[in-house]
Amino acid sequence: MSAGSKALTASIYIGPHYAGLTYTPKYCDLSDFEDRYQANLSEDTIPNVNQAVKLIQEAEAEIDSKEWGRYIQTDEYADGNYEILTFQWRYVGFFAQVIYPQHTNIIRVISCHFNSGGVPSSDPVWTEVKEGPASGSHFVMLRKARRKEQLGGALLFYSSVPYPGPLRFRITYEYGLNVDSALLREYAAKKAAMDALEFRAAAEGINLNLDEGPWAALYKKYGERLKYLRDEIFPQKVRKVWIYPSTM
């Protein structure tokens, strides 16, 4: 994955304590971290390379938990138990149906299939259905949102409606709030740098004050910037709502 105009390195060797282990950055790499932390890393620094990578991974995990990036998901209803649907559906009219994938902040549908035959004990017969509107298409995307918050996304089927049943439906799609990758790199690097300063301040034998002085000023500056990104720039946490064609 690339972030802004600066490509991330493919992988980073982590060692010597974890010989052979590599880490592939998602949003920022060690050089981004060092730039924000304003120090070079080694196996003898606090934090050392391994610890810094862990802090970066934790910052990236926060980004992913809030779905700020872009992700690929496949949902499939794969047996006859109606209670374990990975998507939800509702009828909205005669021979029309809205299907709600597991993640509703959909960027694009990559592929969509329904089973045109078969039973739970046999292999499904997948038939691809196409996004429209256009001649020969089967569904359109419905989206509902307000300022900074996507409330839901769904597929309205108007042809070849995949009614619920054993092995009925499979969709692969890209979802996420699609925050600019340069901002995600900045967020991950500064969040990891803040955590590194806390780690260093708490380490035995390290005299680092986060209440006053240059490190405290840097810590406060990053904290204010991250709060601004979370509160004013990045979309809020997605929540699912029912969408009907008449409300679009």
Average pLDDT over residues 143-154: 66
Is there a single domain that holds both residue 168 and residue 218? no
Q: Which long-range contacts (CB under 8 A, 24 or more apart) does 75-84 make?
A: 75/101, 75/102, 75/169, 75/170, 75/171, 75/173, 76/169, 76/170, 76/171, 77/164, 77/167, 77/168, 77/169, 77/170, 78/167, 79/120, 79/166, 79/167, 80/120, 80/165, 80/166, 82/164
Of 153, 175, 197, the residue at which a domain comes to its end is: 175
166 part of a folded domain: yes
240 part of a folded domain: no
| pLDDT for the residue 168 | 72
* Per-residue pLDDT tens over the stretch 48-94: 988 999 999 999 999 999 999 999 999 876 554 443 344 556 666 65
Is there a single domain that holds both residue 51 and residue 100? no
- What range does the domain containing 192 cover? 2-67+180-233
pTM exceeding the 0.85 threshold for the entire prediction:
no
99 part of a folded domain: yes
| pLDDT for the residue 86 | 46
Q: How far is CA 124 from CA 94, 118, 205, in A?
A: 26, 5, 64
| pLDDT for the residue 164 | 60
Domain count of the chain? 2
Is there a single domain that holds both residue 58 and residue 131? no
* Per-residue pLDDT tens over the stretch 153-203: 788 888 877 666 555 788 899 999 899 999 999 999 999 999 999 999 888
- Among 79-83, 114-118, 130-134, which range has the highest average pLDDT? 130-134
Question: Per-residue confidence at 106, pLDDT binned at 50, 70, 90?
Answer: confident
Q: Is 103 helix (H, G, I), strand (E, B) or coil?
A: coil
How far apart are alpha carbons 135 and 64 in whole angstroms?
A: 37
Of 175, 191, 207, the residue at which a domain comes to its end is: 175
Average pLDDT over residues 140-160: 74
| pLDDT for the residue 141 | 87
Mean pLDDT of the chain: 79
